[in-house]
Amino acid sequence: MSTVLLAVIAVILCVLFRILNVNSQPHKPVIYGRDRNFIENILFVAPFLSEPYIPTRLWGFSGHIQTILHSLIGRVRCPWPIGGRISLILPDKSTLTYDLYEPLGAEHEDDVTVAICPGIGNTSESVYIRTYVHYSQRHGYRCAVLNHIGALNSVPVTGARIFSYGHTDDFNYMIDNLMERYPNTKLILVGFSLGGNLITKYLGEDRKRPDNIIGGISICQGYNAIDTMVYLLQWQNFRRFYLYIMTDNYRNIITRHKRTLLSNEMKNRYSLDENMIVSAGTLPDLDEAYSRRVYGFNSVAELYKWSSSAFYLQNIKTPMIYLTPIYYLMSLIINFALAVRVQGSHDKVMYLELSHGGHLGFYEGGLLYANPVTWLDRALAAIVGGLMMAHHKCVPQESVDEPDLIKSSTIIYRDPLDKALVL
C-alpha cells in the first residue's frame, strides 16, 4: 500500500472521527432553576436527569447524525400507537384534526392527558411523535397530538390557510375539545421544536386557558424567530442546509394544497405570486411571498415578532421544563432566551442543557445499535410524573430562604446571568 494511499485513509479517518465527535465523553446535564422544591420534585421521579447522558458510542456524539436518524427512523421498529382521529371544523372553515390515544399502562391516581404539539409541518404520523406517544401510553397517560393544518396528506385544506409559526388558536381548539371530553383531566402540554414555541407562546398569551393545565415541557424550541433566521442564514455548521430542508418542506405543503391555497381568488385577495412562492430559496423569502400576506402582516419582521415566544415568556405562570442540547443548531438563541427571559418569568422553571444530542434526537447506549427506547422518551415520561408530583407537593422539603448552589456539579439554583461557579 503506497504512502499516499495511507495518507488519504488517515485524512478520511480523521475527518470521520471529527464529524462523529468520537473523542467526546458523556456528561451530566446542567440544570438551571431557582426553586429547590420544584426541581427536587422533578428529580425525585426522574433521578437519571442528573446522571450522565450516554449516547451510542460510534455515532451518537454527533448532533447531526442524531438529528438525521431521528427524523428518518425514530426508533428501530418504530411502533404505530393505537388511537383515533378527531376532526373539527373551525370558524374560518379550516379543518383541524388531532389524534387521541387512551392509556394502555397502569392507571394513575389522577386522570392525565398529555397534549402534544409537533414540530414544523409534523403530525401524529411523524416517527418521533409515534415513539413518544407509544411509550407514554404504556406509562398510563392519555395523549392528544395536534396535526398541523396542511401537514397530513389525507386531510384536505378547507380554509384559506395552513399552520404558522405563531398561530396558537389551533392548539387552543384542541385543548377546548379535550376539556369537553375530559373535564376533570389534568393537562400537561408538550411541544417539540416549533411546537415548543407554540405552547410557550400559548401559555404566555393574554387568553383564557383551562385551570386543568398544570405544566408544560418544551424540547429544542426557538424563542426569537428574527434572531433564529439570522443565525440559520449562516453557512457554518450546516445551518443553511437545515434552513433549506425546512423551506422545502414548508413550500411542499403549500404547493400540495395549491388548488385551495393558490387559487385565483386567494391570489387576488392576498396579492400572492405563485412564481415567488415556488422559487423562494429561504424561509424569509417564502414568508415574504406567502405567510406574512395570508396572516395580514406588513413585513416578515412583524410576522416573526408576533410568532416569537420570547415576547410572552414573562407572562407565564405555569410550571415549565425546557430541554435542549447545547450543541443543537439553535443553541445560541436558546441560551440567550434562557439567560434573558426564562429565569425572569417565575420560579417554577427548570432548564436542562445537555452536552450531546441532536434536534429531538437523543439515542443512548450501545456501541453501534442504540437502545430501543431513546433517552428523550424516557425523560419526557418521567418529567410528566415529576410535574404531577410537584403539582401535589408530595415530597417534603426543607425550608430554604435563599437557595444557592446545591452540592452537585450539575444543578444551579441561581440565575445564569449571575455567572455563578458550578461546584
What per-residue confidence (pLDDT) applies to 402?
Answer: 37
d(CA 150, CA 158): 9
Burial degree of 236 (CB within 10 A; 0-12, 13-18, 19+): exposed
Same domain, 37 and 96: yes
Please indicate whether residue 75 or residue 352 has the higher confidence score (pLDDT). 352
pLDDT digits 0-9 by tens, 156-189: 999 999 999 999 999 999 999 999 999 999 999 9
Same domain, 204 and 132: yes
- Say whether pLDDT at 13 is over 60: no
Same domain, 32 and 116: yes
Q: Which of 27-36, 144-153, 385-394 has the highest mean pLDDT?
A: 144-153
Structural domains in the chain (count) = 2
Q: What is the mean pLDDT of residues 40-56?
A: 91
Same domain, 103 and 215: yes
d(CA 63, CA 19): 9
pLDDT digits 0-9 by tens, 106-125: 777 789 999 999 998 899 99
Q: What is the mean pLDDT of residues 5-10?
A: 53
For residue 63, is it within any domain?
Answer: yes
What's the pLDDT band for 230 if we cut at 50, 70, 90? Answer: confident
Same domain, 167 and 72: yes
Same domain, 260 and 364: no
d(CA 195, CA 73): 20
pLDDT digits 0-9 by tens, 66-118: 877 777 776 667 788 989 999 999 999 999 999 999 998 777 778 999 999 99
Amino acid at 180: E
What per-residue confidence (pLDDT) applies to 19?
Answer: 54
Same domain, 280 and 386: no
Please indicate whether residue 203 or residue 4 has the higher confidence score (pLDDT). 203
pLDDT digits 0-9 by tens, 273-305: 999 999 998 999 999 999 999 999 999 999 999
What's the pLDDT band for 327 if we cut at 50, 70, 90? Answer: low
What per-residue confidence (pLDDT) applies to 414?
Answer: 45
Same domain, 288 and 332: no
For residue 8, is it within any domain?
Answer: no
Instruction: Work out the angle at residue 108's Cα, subtended by the Cα atoms of residues 103 and 114, and round it to the nearest 5 degrees.
Output: 50
Same domain, 345 and 379: yes
Same domain, 198 and 69: yes
25-34, 62-71, 331-340: least confidently modelled range = 331-340
Print the domain residue range for 248: 229-307
Is residue 223 a contact partner of residue 310, using CB atoms and an 8 Å limit?
Answer: yes
For residue 313, is it within any domain?
Answer: no
Instruction: Give the number of other CB atoms < 10 A from CB of residue 342.
Output: 27
For residue 12, is it within any domain?
Answer: no
d(CA 220, CA 118): 11
pLDDT digits 0-9 by tens, 207-223: 999 999 999 999 988 88
d(CA 150, CA 393): 41
For residue 414, is it within any domain?
Answer: no
CA 414 vs. chain centroid, Å, equals: 25
Among 240, 274, 307, residue at a domain's last position:
307
CATH number at residue 88: 3.40.50.1820
For residue 74, is it within any domain?
Answer: yes
What's the pLDDT band for 407 if we cut at 50, 70, 90? Answer: very low
Same domain, 179 and 260: no
Same domain, 201 and 295: no
Is residue 188 a contact partner of residue 215, using CB atoms and an 8 Å limit?
Answer: yes
What per-residue confidence (pLDDT) applies to 358?
Answer: 79
DSSP characters over 381-402: HHHHHHHHHHHHT-S-----SS
- Say whether pLDDT at 6 is over 60: no
Q: What is the mean pLDDT of residues 3-25?
A: 56
